[in-house]
Chains A and B, each alone.
Chain A
C-alpha cells in the first residue's frame, strides 16, 4: 500500500491526505471524518497498515438541522487498546455511502440495519434488504422527522400525564384507525400486493441452479422458524439445502423488533435504564453496565469504590446465569432434551434469588444508576452470594463438567462442527466466547479494561479449534473464572457509599458522543450515545453482540448438515431481544 512511508498512527493518514480526512472538531466528539469516496481506501489502510482488524460498531445518525446523515464506525485491534473512530457524512436527501463489506464483512448486517431504519444506501453491499421491518414498510423510522402512529410528543415526559392526566388508551385516542397503524394518503389495501419474501428467496435462488453438473440433485429452500422450538425465540433461517447439506443460509430477523432505539431517543436518560434490561433479557445487569459506562463517560462521574465492586459482582453473577443457560440449551439443541437444561436452570434459579433479594426482580434488575447502584446488599444477601460462590457453584460446575464434557455423543455431535478460524471470526466481527473459541484471546475486561477489572486475577479463556465443542468448553471455563472474580470481589469489597451524588430522575448530560462497552456474556455489548446537552439522548444505539455474532452463522453452517444448524445456533448463544431490539 505505502511505498515510502510507514503508517504507524491514524494521524499519519490524516496528515498525508488532508484533502479527504479531517479530525472531528465538534465539541465532545472525537475521531475523523472521511470523505465518502475515499472510505474504502481509508478502511484498507486502517485494517492492513494500522492493524485495526475488528470492526466493532457501525451506527447511523440523523442530523436533521444540518440536513446531513452520518455513519459512525468504531474499529479496534484484537491485540487490545482503544478505538479508532471515523465517520462519513452524506446529504439527507440522497444518502449514499460506500459499503465497507469488502474490507470488513462484519458490517453486513449493521449496514442493512442502517439502510432499514435510516434509509442510507450502501453502494456495493451484497444483499441490501430491509432487516427488521419488511419490504414495503412506509418510511425509515429512525429518521428524526418520521413519526409513529402513537406519536404524542417529541420527548418524554409527556404533558398529557400531569397535572391534567385524564387516562386513555393510545389506540382509542391517538389514531383515526383505533390501532397502532398509519397509512400513506390515498392508500388502497385492496390493490396491495405483498412483496413478501421475494428478495430473500431471490438471493438463495441464484445459488439454487448452480449445483454440481455431473450429479444433478435438487436444491431446495427450507425455512426454520420463526416458530421453531430450537431457534431460541422468534428467529428464522432460510436455508438452501442439497440433500442434508446446507449450501447457503440466511438469517431472517426482526420478529421481535421492539423499536428500542426509537423509544430510547424519546426517553430521558434515566428512563432508558429499565428498557436496557429488556435487550438481552437473560443478562440484564450487563446491559445496565454498558449503558451507565457510556453515559458516565459523558457526565464525567465515577461511582464510589463499593459501587464498582457491586457492579462487577453482579455482572459476573449475570455471566454465570447466562452461561448456565447457554450450556443447558446447547444440549437441548443437541437433542438431550431438558435434563442438562434443568441442571443449568436450577443453579440459575439460585442466582436469580439473589437478584430478586437485591434488585427486586428476577430478570429485569434495573440495578445501576449514573454514578452508582440503586441498592446496597440487603441483610443476609452477602452470605447468600458467599455460599453460592465459595461452595455450591464450583461444585455444580464440576458436576456439569463431569456430566457432559466427556460424553461421547456430545463430542461426536460437537467436535469439528461449525468451525470458524481465527481470521474468519475476526473478519465477521464475532466477539465474546465465540471469538475466544476460535483462538483469539480478546476479552474487553483485559483488552480495554473498564470499571475495576484490572484489579482482579482471572484468565482469559481461549480454545483453538473454533468448533462447537470449544465454544462449550470456553463457556464452562469462563464460569469458573467468573467465580474466581466473584470470590475476589467478595473478599475485597469495601464499606462505603454506593452512589456519587444523588440519583435523580432527570439528569442533564453534557453534549458530545460516547461509546461505552463491556464484555457481556455474549460478547462486546456497546452503547453509543450522543447528547445535545438536554435531558434526552439525541442518539442512542446499541451494539448488540448477538446480532453481530449472527454473521458467523452462515459460514459455520455452510457445507454442514441441516441438523447441525440448530447446534451452531445454540453454540452462538443468541438472544432475540438483543438481536431485534
Chain B
C-alpha cells in the first residue's frame, strides 16, 4: 500500500502524453493534414497523437475495403454504358440476406432471355456488406464500393438502389481497386483469347447462344 504502482502507472501515461509533443517537434511540418502524415501516424512504429482529423484528413481505405455493392459498366465507343451484368442471378442466389432483386430482360420477338438486366435493385438497408456477390460473380460485373460517405435524411426514397444508381464505370473500378482490376482484365483477356483460338480451330461447329448461365 505504498502507491508505487500508481506512480509507475502514471509514468506510463505521462510518457504517452509528452510523446505527442516530442513527436510533433521531431517530425516538424507535414505531420498533420498531409497524406504521408496520416500514413505515418498509422504505422506500427507510430508514437504520439493517434487522431485522424476527419474530414480534413481521411484515413485511406485499403483496396479490399468493402462497403455497398455497385455494378460495373464498360463505356462503349459512343458513350453508352454496357453493363457487364448478364443477369445470371448468381449474386441474388449467393446473397446471404437476399437483398438483391433482378429482373431479367427478354427479347421482345423471340421471348428468350437476353443477357442484360432489365432492372436491378439492391436494398442497402438489408445489405450486410459481406462481399459475397462480388466474390461469386463470374463476370466481374458487381463489385464492392469504397464510398462510405452516404448518410442521408430519408431512407424510403433513397435506400433502394436501382440500376441507374448502382452503375459505375470500369474506370472508376480501376481507380479504387487497381490491382484487382488489372488482374481480372488480364484473366478475361486470356479467356477471350482462348475462346477465339478455339473458334478459329473449329470454324464449322456452331456455338450456342452466348448467354449461357
Direct A–B contact in complex, judged by CB atoms less than 8 Å apart: yes
Does A28 sit within 8 A of B, measured CB to CB? Answer: no
Does B31 sit within 8 A of A, measured CB to CB? Answer: no
Say whether B96 contacts A267, CB under 8 Å.
yes
Say whether B103 contacts A164, CB under 8 Å.
yes
Does A361 sit within 8 A of B, measured CB to CB? Answer: yes
B residues less than 8 Å from A169 (CB atoms): 123, 160
**CB closest chain-A residue, reference B62:** A357
A161 to B117, CA, bound (A): 13
B 133-148 to A, binary, CB cutoff 8 A, 1 in contact else 0: 0011000000010000
Q: Which of B71-79, B84-92, B192-200 contacts A (4 or more CB under 8 A)?
A: B84-92
A 446-458 to B, binary, CB cutoff 8 A, 1 in contact else 0: 0000000000000
A residues less than 8 Å from B13 (CB atoms): 339, 403
Q: Which of B3-11, B22-30, B165-173, B201-209 contacts A (4 or more CB under 8 A)?
A: B3-11
Say whether B92 contacts A360, CB under 8 Å.
no
Say whether A275 contacts B96, CB under 8 Å.
yes
A411 to B1, CA, bound (A): 10
**CB closest chain-B residue, reference A406:** B5
Chain B at the A interface: SS class:
mixed
Say whether B98 contacts A402, CB under 8 Å.
no
Task: Known contacts A339-B13, A408-B5, A411-B5; decide if A353 and B42 are in contact (CB<8 Å).
Answer: yes
**CB closest chain-B residue, reference A374:** B135
Say whether B98 contacts A407, CB under 8 Å.
no
**CB closest chain-A residue, reference B52:** A349
Task: Known contacts A157-B93, A339-B13; decide if A163 and B64 are in contact (CB<8 Å).
Answer: no
Size class of the contact patch on chain A: 35 or more
Name the interface residues of B78-133: CB closer than 8 Å to any CB of A. Answer: 87, 89-90, 92-96, 98, 100-104, 113, 119, 121, 123, 128-132
A residues less than 8 Å from B16 (CB atoms): 343
Say whether B128 contacts A364, CB under 8 Å.
yes
Say whether A356 contacts B62, CB under 8 Å.
yes
**CB closest chain-B residue, reference A389:** B44
Does B45 sit within 8 A of A, measured CB to CB? Answer: yes
A570 to B44, CA, bound (A): 29
B residues less than 8 Å from A164 (CB atoms): 103-104
Q: Smallest Cβ distance from A449 to chain B, in angstroms?
A: 30
Say whether A163 contacts B45, CB under 8 Å.
no
Does B21 sit within 8 A of A, measured CB to CB? Answer: no
Does B12 sit within 8 A of A, measured CB to CB? Answer: yes
A residues less than 8 Å from B18 (CB atoms): none
Q: Which has the most chain B C-beta neighbours within 10 Å: A163, A166, A359?
A: A163
A306 to B93, CA, bound (A): 30
A503 to B13, CA, bound (A): 48
A residues less than 8 Å from B33 (CB atoms): none
Task: Known contacts A374-B135, A407-B9; decide if A361 and B65 are in contact (CB<8 Å).
Answer: yes
**CB closest chain-B residue, reference A275:** B96
A 551-572 to B, binary, CB cutoff 8 A, 1 in contact else 0: 0000000000000000000000
A162: contacting residue among B3, B62, B92, CB under 8 A: B92
Say whether A402 contacts B131, CB under 8 Å.
no
Inter-chain CB contacts under 8 Å: number: 151
Q: Smallest Cβ distance from A188 to chain B, in angstroms?
A: 32
A191 to B109, CA, bound (A): 60
A161: contacting residue among B63, B102, B179, CB under 8 A: B102
B residues less than 8 Å from A378 (CB atoms): 62-64, 179
A274: contacting residue among B103, B128, B136, CB under 8 A: B128
Task: Known contacts A364-B128, A364-B130, A392-B45; decide if A167 and B160 are in contact (CB<8 Å).
Answer: yes
Does B61 sit within 8 A of A, measured CB to CB? Answer: yes
B residues less than 8 Å from A214 (CB atoms): none
Does A272 sit within 8 A of B, measured CB to CB? Answer: yes
**CB closest chain-A residue, reference B4:** A406
Does A179 sit within 8 A of B, measured CB to CB? Answer: no
A361 to B8, CA, bound (A): 37
Q: Which has the most chain B C-beta neighbours within 10 Å: A169, A358, A387, A388?
A: A169
Does A16 sit within 8 A of B, measured CB to CB? Answer: no
Say whether B6 contacts A360, CB under 8 Å.
no
A residues less than 8 Å from B44 (CB atoms): 350, 384, 387-388, 391-392
A residues less than 8 Å from B92 (CB atoms): 157, 161-162, 165
Say whether B98 contacts A156, CB under 8 Å.
yes
Task: Known contacts A378-B63, A387-B44, A505-B136; decide if A402 and B89 are in contact (CB<8 Å).
Answer: no
B64: contacting residue among A273, A360, A405, CB under 8 A: A360
A392 to B45, CA, bound (A): 7
B residues less than 8 Å from A408 (CB atoms): 1-3, 5-6
A 378-410 to B, binary, CB cutoff 8 A, 1 in contact else 0: 110000100110011000000100111111111
A residues less than 8 Å from B131 (CB atoms): 360, 366
Contacts A/B (CB < 8 Å), 27 sampled: A158-B98, A161-B95, A161-B100, A161-B101, A162-B100, A162-B104, A163-B104, A167-B123, A169-B160, A274-B96, A274-B130, A356-B62, A358-B64, A360-B64, A360-B65, A360-B66, A360-B131, A361-B66, A387-B45, A402-B12, A403-B12, A404-B9, A406-B4, A408-B3, A409-B6, A504-B136, A506-B93
- B residues at A contact (CB < 8 Å): 1-6, 8-9, 11-13, 16, 42-45, 50, 61-66, 87, 89-90, 92-96, 98, 100-104, 113, 119, 121, 123, 128-132, 135-136, 144, 160, 179
- Top 10 nearest A-B pairs by Cβ distance? A406-B5, A165-B101, A274-B130, A387-B44, A162-B89, A505-B94, A163-B104, A167-B121, A271-B96, A157-B93
**Known A360-B62, A411-B5; 19 more pairs at CB < 8 Å:** A157-B92, A158-B98, A160-B101, A161-B89, A162-B87, A162-B89, A162-B100, A162-B104, A163-B87, A167-B121, A167-B123, A169-B160, A267-B96, A275-B128, A358-B64, A366-B132, A378-B62, A403-B13, A505-B94
